[in-house]
Amino acid sequence: IYCGTGRGDEQINPQTQFIRHFTEMEGLALGNVDDIHVDSRGVLWFATTLGLSRLTPLPEPPRDPPSVFVDQIRYRGQPYPISALGERDVALPTLPNDDHRLEIEYLGLNFQVGERLTYEAWLEGAESGWVDRGTQRILSYANLAPGDYRLHLRALNSRGEVSRQPATVTFSISPPFWMQGWFFLLAAIAIFT
């Protein structure tokens, strides 16, 4: 489906709900699109207030799905050192139980014009599967129970194509001192002596 607007032309794919925007950058004549005509060969003609443009529809070339990277990590409000270019796999040291505020920023990369990425995350150890995060690019965690966690992140383009390789952040939260083995051992010694 093609629609002429004051900002150019919109191509809408009803099956994927993908909207592609054509402007003068793609060769459309400047001005408002006043009329669209299809000739006998299937060529589209766009009449604008400042000119005439022709578009021969072709099948879209295959595209690579978006990539996703961990961009920044802050622990207790302090930055955790990671590459300035982002990383796909990050392993954090064990976080103490008393204050484990953790904030993770991530970023999807896609080189298609007009593409809007959305994100999904899954905190393995606390969630049962992928959770839609929309366009949100920051996750904050606090008050997680002691245990081992792995955060999986992936980006989706408007066609629903998912990152081939999710980004991951692995971390553990230590139990409080009264739940650790050495405390039980000292308590047992104190009780039996």
Q: Is 191 helix (H, G, I), strand (E, B) or coil?
A: helix
Residue 132 is predicted with a pLDDT of 94
Average predicted confidence (pLDDT) for the chain? 83
Q: Tell me what the mean pLDDT of segment 107-131 comes to.
A: 86
pLDDT of residue 163: 92
116-151 as b/e: b if 16+ CB within 10 A: ebbbbbbbebeeeeeeebeeebebebeebebeebeb
How much is the pLDDT for 51?
85
- Residue 173 pLDDT level (bands cut at 50, 70, 90): confident
pLDDT at position 179 over 70: no
Alpha-carbon distance of 87 to 20, in angstroms, equals 30
